[in-house]
Amino acid sequence: MRLYQARHRAYCGVDLHTRTMYLCVLDPDGRTLLHEDIPATREAFLKAIEPHREGLVVACECMFAWYWLADACAAEGLPFVLGHALEMRAIHGTKTKNDRIDSEKIAHLLRAGLLPQAYVYPAAMRATRDLLRRRAYLVRRRAEALAHVQVIHGQYNVTAATGKLRYKANRAGVPDRFEDESVRRTLGVDLALAEHLDGQIAELEAYLAARVKAHDLPGFYRLRSIPGVGKVLALTILYEVGDIRRFDDVGQFLSYARLVRPAKESAGKRVGLSDRKMGNAHLKWAFREAAALMTRHVPAAKAFAARQAKAHGTGKAQAILASKLGRAVYVMLRRGVPFEEETFLRQ
């Protein structure tokens, strides 16, 4: 947990919503300078903080509407701190909760140096990262549509098509296997949706690959040197990581990517596991997928996974290999070196 502990002349806590925002500005001694509810617009925000903006720092909780506030502060030269939503919830959870109380507590946490920080992702790459996440959403929707086709085959005890349905050639004639017109229409809807998503996903992947050159990300080609890592996985890792220098060591990176098991200890005794969902779910998916593909394409990696599976089970073996890949990627991006298969498997 990284706490923001810089000292300022004034501290602004913002409880941000789509249409409104509650501001609380405190001086270094904790006295309230401003505490009011205003419209969630750039103009209203700048007008409200104008009397206190000299030496002001602004903080809000990480929620979906923080982009415009961070950009407004950057344009005006104001320090901006993004609070970590999960860790803030544990700190300022109280019996009574409303926007006025929340804004005041954010301001007090900021003033006391106890505000847990989240990463303020660079504005130049933010939209591309969100588009990449949207592509992953479309892939899941396509998989759901094709899985429903398989379910219908099982419901009516009809032999499923040979070959994977994610390939368009294997979908031909699938509705014709059923006599009921309603069933054929249901299958037609699923297959039409999958075909439409095929085109959307292909266009997005081509666009995203071109954006790598626009953002000048040399790490893309280094990541492609990892066996089994294609352009989608390389893009996901690059855009989810952002600046690798924000991680002081490999342990922080593995924790952020959900590749380690955070333990809880008290009085020298282990009492369980901490919140394993705190971190980046997209990075965890990328590394687990890369580990599965590596075991498929690299015999030595397959043998390593088999040895780990005997000792820990198949699922744990894949997690170990994914964590190993995470360490390698951290070194590659930090030092600017390509992947070395022999070194990776020897360590």
pLDDT in tens, 90-126: 666 677 788 899 999 999 999 999 999 999 999 989 9
Q: What is the pLDDT of residue 272?
A: 63
Q: What is the spatial distance between Cα 61 and Cα 102, in angstroms, rounded to a whole number?
A: 10
Give φ, ψ of 300 to 5 degrees.
Answer: -65, -40
Window from 83-87, 125-129, 217-221, 270-274 with minimum mean pLDDT: 270-274
Please, which residues bridge with residue 39 across strands? 20
The answer for 313, left when phi > 0, alpha when psi is -120 to 50, beta otherwise, is: left
Domain 3-118 listed as CATH 3.30.420.10: yes
> In b/e form, how buried is each residue of 32-55, taking b as 16+ CB within 10 angstroms?
ebbeeebebeeeebeebbeebbee
Across residues 8-23, what is the average pLDDT?
A: 95
pLDDT above 70 covers what percent of the chain? 97
Q: What is the spatial distance between Cα 95 and Cα 318, in angstroms, rounded to a whole number?
A: 43
pLDDT tens-place string over residues 134-177: 999 999 999 999 999 999 999 998 887 778 888 888 888 888 88
Window from 105-109, 216-220, 224-228, 248-252 with minimum mean pLDDT: 216-220
Q: What is the pLDDT of residue 276?
A: 67
267, 150 in Cβ contact below 8 A? no
- Write the secondary structure of the chain as one string of H (helix), E (strand) and C (coil): CCEECCCCCEEEEEEECCCEEEEEEECCCCCEEEEEEEECCHHHHHHHHHHHCCCEEEEEECCCCHHHHHHHHHHHCCCEEEECHHHHHHHHCCCCCCHHHHHHHHHHHHHHCCEEEECCCCHHHHHHHHHHHHHHHHHHHHHHHHHHHHHHHHHCCCCCCCCCCCCHHHHCCCHHHCCCHHHHHHHHHHHHHHHHHHHHHHHHHHHHHHHHHHHCCCHHHHHCCCCCCCHHHHHHHHHHHCCHHHCCCHHHHHHHCCCCCCEEEECCEEEEECCCCCCCHHHHHHHHHHHHHHHHHCHHHHHHHHHHHHHHCHHHHHHHHHHHHHHHHHHHHHHCCCCCHHHHHHC
pLDDT above 90 covers what percent of the chain? 63
Domain boundaries, the chain: 3-118, 125-216, 231-263+278-346
pLDDT tens-place string over residues 242-267: 889 999 999 999 999 999 877 777 77
Q: What tokens appear for 51 in the block?
A: 């009397």
